Amino acid sequence: MKAIPYFLLSAVIAVFLLAEVDCLLAVEWGSLSGRVVLDGEPPESQPINPTKDQFCMSIGPPNETLLVGKDGGLANVVIYIRVKRGQSLDIHPDYDVQLEQEVVLDNKGCRFVPHIALVRTGQPLVVRNSDPTGHNTNASLAKNGAFNVLIAASQSQNMTLSKAESLPLPVQCNVHPFMKGYMLVRDDPYMTVTDETGAFEITDIPAGTHEFQFWQERIGYLKDCKYDGGQLNRRGRVKLDIQDGEKLDLGEIEVPVSLIK
């Protein structure tokens, strides 16, 4: 009788030790891809009207709130995994190096580059101003607290963020109120933004069931959008089971134009 707990204990210890040596033994990985397309004729975008600074007026930054590429591909849709409060995901060791890499949020040509910055907690974030004029970066972060710093021309400021946000949150410039970008801060690397064709891919996701969130700035949650064989819920979320080694492709996720605000 007494031998069994002993055995169990040593087994558990062994598992932990092995896990320390190489996570791959315990966790398996898959990936998710797809393409977000706009179903219907996109509404005409009001051009950005730079109202300050000769520099900005001469450049005329584009309106990036709704970018529709060829075949209706919808760019700048953010896709990420929702994690319940207090839980976290296993992270593929290939991503470890990411934590050393800087994320640059640049003020360039009187717009934020990238338009939507994806940042992991603990990852170095550089807020840079590549323009010859002063910009301030006013980020309305919730869990991390808001910050609003002035970055003089050709200067930058370094920071790290420590808490995950549950949404992409706006980043603005009060000197140039026509500038607006977004920032998503997560604990894990499983987040992405669709490219100009609307395509996206998240790789090395730990196998298992996850809830994926789809969001776009003009639309908010991609409410009830359909894809081949499924549908997002009213909050633009869908639970997907990803098997080991599986490359799950959702195909085209159709967004009706009526969702655009």
Q: Name the residues that contact another protein, by CB under 8 A.
A: 46, 48-49, 51-53, 57, 65, 133-134, 136-138, 140-150, 152-153, 155, 157, 162-163, 166-167, 170, 172, 174-180, 220-221, 234-235
How far is 217 from 260, CA to CA, in rounded Å?
9
Least spacing, CB of residue 113 vs another protein, in Å = 16
Phi, psi (5° rounding) for residue 174? -80, -25
CB of 83 to another protein, least distance (A): 12
From CA 225, how far away is CA 222, in angstroms rounded?
6
Order of strands across the sheet with 103-107? Answer: 112-113, 103-107, 124-129, 156-160
In the complex, the smallest distance separating the C-beta of residue 187 from another protein, rounded to whole angstroms, is 14
**8 A C-beta contact, residue 140 and residue 166:** no
Instruction: State the nearest-atom distance from the C-beta of 167 to another protein, in Å.
Output: 6
Nearer to another protein, 101 or 148 (CB): 148
Distances from the Cα of 221 to the Cαs of 27, 218, 237, in angstroms?
30, 9, 8
Q: Which is nearer to another protein, 50 or 72 (CB)?
A: 50
